[in-house]
Each structure stands twice: as C-alpha cells, then as structure tokens.
C-alpha cells in the first residue's frame, strides 16, 4: 500500500531519536510536513532530516511541561496526525526503585503522552470534521509481565490504557487512536547494552516505523483502539 500524506501536517515527538527519525523518513517520503518538538536543536550530522524543507524542529520544548506543550501545539497548523515516540527507559528490581524513579518514568512516558494527545485533539479538530490520527508507543512489558521492569511497565501500561480510552472517546469524530507495542528494537544503544543477544530476533526500526506510519495515515480507514504488537521474533 502506498501511503499518502500529501499536504498533511504531522507531529512526531522524539522525532530526532532512532525510531522517531525512521518515522520522519517515511512520512516525508509520503508527502507529510513533520513538526518535531525537541529539548535542543539536533546535530545535523546525526539528524540530516532537519535540513529538509518539510521538517520543522522546535527546540526548547519540555514535553512534561503543560504550558510548553500547549504553546507548541497551539502554534501549529491544523493537524492530521500526532505520533508520540518520545519516552524513557530504566530497569531495576522493585526493592531498588525509588519513588522518584517511578515518578520520573510516569512523567517521561505517561504524562508526556497525555499532554500531547490532549493538545493534538484540539489541533486536529481545527481541520473541521475530517478526523485525524494519533499513534502512541507503549511497550511489550506493559502487556507481558517482565521481571525487573515494574516502574517502566506501569508507565507504559498507562500509555496503553490512555490509548484505548481515547479511541472510544474520539471515535465519533473520526479521530483514530492506536498504539504500537514494541519489544526490544534493533538499535545501536540496545546492541551495546546486550552484545550477546540475537539481534536477528529484534524488530528493525524501519519495520516498526512502517506500522506507525500506516496507523497514522489517511489509508488507515478502520483501525482504532489497537495495541499493535511489533515484536518481530523476540
């Protein structure tokens, strides 16, 4: 299927990271204009997409700051879609997990997703009654029990719950809300952290990005409320 985002404006949080950049590549190739909120301006050598005429990076945005997120979205054109890749990860046994660690993950993963979903809905509605798309990123430990990841899993479970709740709330407006649920993805960081793993079993970034791009596309006519596994063979 050929995806067509011609003349569509799409937000990609975490768009300068490994998965986010793969998503931006696909969207731009399909005609989208991508808006990326970022903590700081990316290094062009690591994120060459920043030079593309349809990629607009806005530095200085803290996605856990309610006012900052509201201001970022409010200044955008009416949106077709908002894709929320930004997030964080940490692992520790529960007895070694402080309340601050738990709160940090809930802020980085759950609160940022909530704020971006909320503001995206406001901007999508400015398109009139044409609907739109929201795609979140949960994680396999949110659905499949995994030792040593209680705080992380809880924060991503909140993302999953938010996704299915908003899917019902927004269905009548034609705003489809879905989430992908990755297992360990094949990134340089993960390879370095787990050098003895079988990398062939991990889903590749372009494969996960392709699933996200479809869910966010006008060609996705019926899928909503999905927690879509992107596990590969892992």
Residue that has been written with the tokens 């040593």 in this structure: 148
Give the class (CATH, top level) of 9-230.
alpha beta
Pairing outcome for strands 33-37 and 132-137: unpaired
DSSP assigned state of 65: -
What does the pLDDT read at residue 119? 98
The side-by-side arrangement of strands in the sheet containing 33-37 is 55-58, 33-37, 9-13, 81-84, 132-137, 175-182, 227-230
Q: SS in 3 state form for 187-234?
A: CHHHHHHCCCCCHHHCCEHHHHHHHHHHHHCCCCCCCCCCEEEECCCC
Strands (E), the chain: 9-13, 33-37, 55-58, 81-84, 132-137, 175-182, 227-230
DSSP assigned state of 222: S
Give the three-class secondary structure for 86: coil
Cα–Cα distance measured from residue 156 to residue 221, given in angstroms and rounded to the nearest whole number: 26
**Domain-by-domain residue ranges, the chain?**
9-230
Counting every residue, how long is the chain? 234
What does the pLDDT read at residue 10? 98
Copy the structure tokens of residue 59.
């530095």
Q: Which residues of the chain have pLDDT under 70?
A: none
Tell me the pLDDT tens digit for each residue of 73-129. Answer: 999 999 999 999 999 999 999 999 999 999 999 999 999 999 999 999 999 999 888
What does the pLDDT read at residue 161? 98
Burial class of residue 195 (count of CB atoms within 10 Å of its CB; 0-12, 13-18, 19+):
exposed
What does the pLDDT read at residue 92? 96
């Amino acid at each position: 299927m050929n995806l067509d985002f011609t003349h569509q404006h799409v937000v990609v949080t975490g768009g300068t990271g490994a998965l986010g950049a793969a998503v931006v590549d696909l969207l731009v190739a399909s005609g989208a204009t991508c808006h990326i909120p970022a903590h700081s301006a990316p290094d062009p050598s690591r994120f060459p997409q920043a030079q593309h005429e349809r990629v607009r990076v806005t530095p200085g945005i803290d996605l856990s700051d309610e006012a900052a997120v509201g201001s970022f979205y409010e200044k955008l054109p009416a949106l077709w879609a908002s894709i929320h890749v930004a997030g964080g990860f940490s692992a520790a046994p529960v007895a070694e997990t402080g309340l601050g660690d738990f709160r940090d993950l809930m802020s980085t993963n759950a609160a940022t997703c909530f704020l971006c979903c909320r503001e995206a809905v406001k901007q999508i509605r400015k398109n009139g009654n044409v609907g739109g798309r929201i795609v979140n990123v949960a994680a396999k430990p949110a659905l499949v029990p995994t030792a040593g990841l209680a705080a992380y899993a809880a924060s991503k479970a909140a993302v999953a719950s938010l996704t299915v709740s908003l899917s019902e709330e927004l269905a009548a407006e034609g705003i489809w809300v879905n989430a992908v649920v990755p297992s360990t993805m094949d990134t340089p960081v993960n390879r370095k952290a787990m050098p003895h793993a079988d990398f062939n079993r991990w889903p590749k970034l372009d494969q996960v990005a392709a699933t996200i791009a479809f869910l966010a596309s006008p060609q996705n006519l019926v899928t909503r409320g999905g927690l879509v596994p992107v596990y590969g063979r892992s």
